[in-house]
Amino acid sequence: MYVVTPSQSKKIDQRASAEFQIPGMILMENAAIQAANVIRERYPLSFFGRSGRVLVLAGCGNNGGDGLAVARHLALSGYRVTVLILGRSGKNPSGDAGTNFAILKALQEKNAGQDGVSLTILRLEDGQDPGRALALVREASLIVDSLFGTGLDRPIAGNYAAVIGEANKSAGSVVAIDIPSGINGETAQIQGTAIRADDTVTFGYLKPGHILFPGRNYSGRVHLRDIGFPPDSAKSVGAGMFTLDDREAAKQLRERPRDGHKGTFGRVAVLAGSTGLTGAACMTSVSALRTGAGLVTLGIPSSLQPVLAGKLTEVMTMPLEDGGQGHLIPESFPDVEELLKGKDVLALGPGCGKNPGVFEIIRNIFRRYHISIVIDADGLNQISKDKDLLREYPAPVILTPHPGEMSTLTGIATEDILKRPVEIALETARQYHVIVLLKGAASVVASPDGRVYLNRSGNSGMGTGGSGDVLTGMIASLVAQGYSPFDAAVLGCYLHGRAGDEAAGRIGEAGMTAGDLMHAIPHTLKRLYALKQEETG
């Protein structure tokens, strides 16, 4: 599914009105109906005590207009509703929001003192003492946040900040309309302060602020709802970002021919491991097999090969000359050439170490071969010594750095990478003509052609040593099986997270190891292939 930026979302709204004659008021009403439906499902009247009250926090813009319409639908459904409108002195909601404000006022006036509709509208203007408003926030059973939408690009201050701070301390549940107020819809960064929502109802398309962190932490459970945009809306505004769910990932899985053999499913070479870091080599190799590769051969320093040969039953091991040092040396290269013969892809780097001889091997591979390469860990740090090798290499390269490795590769501070992961991953992909998978709680995959994938699968249990080695093997396996480099990185990223979810479902997140993740891969693939079969009949 597409993910759109706030500016693209605005263009989608404008196009719906200009080209398809869909009035903004209809889109706003559809959004309000969908949001009210989610609230009724998640927080039915039985959720509230007799004195329970819904507090709708509304700004004066379109997001506030959505909230005003939600307030109307909830009041007509029997909820006790108070609307608190925040804004400048003397300023009322305008445009479509103004229309909803007028409708709400009329509903309040016509039903004053009557049974069946409980609706109160209050104002909090800039500079006004917020004491009464803060008391309302504290007393609310449910807070509906419609102060600011996805386009917010300035810090929140004044009464807005005071009300948001009180909402975050409140015992009441919080539902945000479109995005929690204070979260930048494009970068997911906090604009001074932000609402912490239990649920967020958004419309048409997810925004980066829902997926990336810290915005994702503030969004709670995100409910994506259709409000009637033409189906080609995202394409029409040039959206290049997307995310996957299980059904979409299942569609991407390639059928495995019934008459296939080990050669059919690809040959993976793994160049990994050094003294003290043999686990990385093992996990990368086994994960490639677990993801479906037909043959996996691990090239390992010769002094370590007997240990690995005893540990890896299904993976072939090839000893590489190491002069008894336990790591690659320049003299290893003839053996590396033998390793690469007939292989479809090379997984390079996990546990290789920092010895200069490793760089000499990598440089020779890049200058003499055209094999697809997946680079991780020590391989990334080594290639950072001569990044022109990436730009000049004629075959596909997939880089899988975490933010620290990305900092070494780009020279950009880690904290800046965490604030701008999409921008920096895309810049790097374009600069070096590579696929970049920037790992994190919400990993980003970027292609030189501008496509960007934002990952939503996975959990905190995957924050453990070896998890990245598993991912490297999975992506290499998919490349060997014939997936394009970008598709392999995207699907590998999603499957990696879902395998983590599978493992966490069985043993919990605390105490998970990379081995648990690795052993969950076949279960994840089995479930997704079954879903694919179900979809295709």
* Phi (first) and psi of residue 338, to 5 degrees: -65, -40
222 and 279 both lie in a single domain = no
Query: What is the mean pLDDT of the segment spanning 169-195?
Result: 97
pTM of the model: 0.96
What total of structural domains would you count in the chain? 2
Task: Look at residue 174 in the predicted model and tell me its pLDDT.
Answer: 98
The confidence band for 395, taking pLDDT boundaries of 50, 70 and 90, is very high
Mean pLDDT of the region 422-428: 98
Q: What is the pLDDT of residue 91?
A: 85
**Whole-angstrom Cα distance, residue 431 to residue 425?**
10
Regarding whether 322 and 233 lie in a shared domain, the answer is no
Is there a single domain that holds both residue 286 and residue 235? no
R_g of the chain, CA atoms, integer Å? 27
pLDDT of residue 489: 99
Residue 235 pLDDT > 70, yes or no?
yes
Confidence band, pLDDT 50/70/90 cuts, at residue 204: very high
What is the CB-side half-sphere exposure of residue 200 using CA atoms within 13 A?
29
Q: Are residues 225 and 315 in the same domain?
A: no
Amino acid at 266: G
Would you say residue 94 has pLDDT above 80? yes
Q: Is the pLDDT of residue 317 over 90?
A: yes
Helix/strand/coil (H/E/C) assignment for every residue in 482-493:
CCCHHHHHHHHH
| Same domain membership, residue 413 and residue 474 | yes
Residues 24, 127 within the same domain: yes
Domain shared by 173 and 290, yes or no? no
pLDDT at 392 over 80: yes
Which domain-ending residue is among 221, 241, 261? 241
Domain boundaries, position 277: 248-536
pLDDT at 44: 95
* Structural domain ending residue among the three candidates 178, 213, 241: 241
Predicted confidence at residue 112, as pLDDT, reads 67
Q: Distance between CA atoms of 18 and 415, rounded to whole angstroms? A: 41
Q: Is the Cβ–Cβ distance between 45 and 118 less than 8 Å? A: no
Output the domain CATH number for residue 317.
3.40.1190.20
CATH of the domain at 194: 3.40.50.10260
| Long-range contacts, 15-19 (Cβ 8 Å, 24+) | 15/230, 15/233, 15/236, 15/237, 16/228, 16/229, 16/230, 16/233, 19/230
**259 DSSP 8-state letter:** T
**Average pLDDT, integer, range 407-419:** 98
Number of separate helices (H) and strands (E) present in the chain: 22, 18
Q: What is the C-alpha to C-alpha distance for residues 434 and 366, in angstroms, rounded to an integer?
A: 13
Alpha helices (H) along 140-207: 158-169
Residues 469 and 504 in one domain: yes
Poorest-pLDDT segment among 40-54, 94-108, 129-143: 40-54
| pLDDT beyond 70 at 113 | no
Determine the pLDDT at residue 51.
Answer: 78
Mean of per-residue pLDDT scores for the chain: 97
* Claim to verify: residue 35 and residue 113 sit in the same structural domain: yes
Non-local (6+) Cβ contacts of 181 within 8 A are 57, 59, 63, 145, 146, 147, 148, 152, 156, 160, 164, 194, 195
- Binned at pLDDT 50, 70 and 90, residue 336 comes out as very high
Q: With bands split at pLDDT 50, 70 and 90, how would you rate the model's confidence at 90?
A: confident
Averaged pLDDT for residues 317-346: 98
Q: What is the model's pLDDT at position 114?
A: 67
Evaluated on CA atoms 81, 83, 84, 89, the torsion sign reads negative
From residue 143, give the alpha-carbon distance in Å to each of 75, 167, 171.
14, 8, 10
- My answer on whether 253 and 228 are in the same domain is no
Does pLDDT of 79 surpass 90?
yes
How far apart CA 234 and CA 248 sit, in angstroms, is 17
Average pLDDT over residues 490-512: 98
What average pLDDT score do residues 233-253 get? 98
Q: Do residues 202 and 298 share a domain?
A: no
pLDDT band, very low/low/confident/very high, at 49 (cuts 50, 70, 90): confident
Predicted local distance difference test score (pLDDT) of residue 50:
75
Domain finish residue from 241, 272, 306: 241
Structure tokens at 509: 């997140």
Same domain, 276 and 161: no
Mean pLDDT of 429-450: 98
pLDDT surpassing 70 at residue 508 = yes
What pLDDT was estimated at residue 241?
98
Read off the pLDDT of each residue in 457-478 and give the average, rounded to a whole number.
Answer: 98
What is the rounded average pLDDT of the residues 441-468? 98
Q: Which of 40-54, 95-109, 202-216, 428-442 has the lowest mean pLDDT?
A: 40-54
Q: 535 pLDDT exceeds 90?
A: no
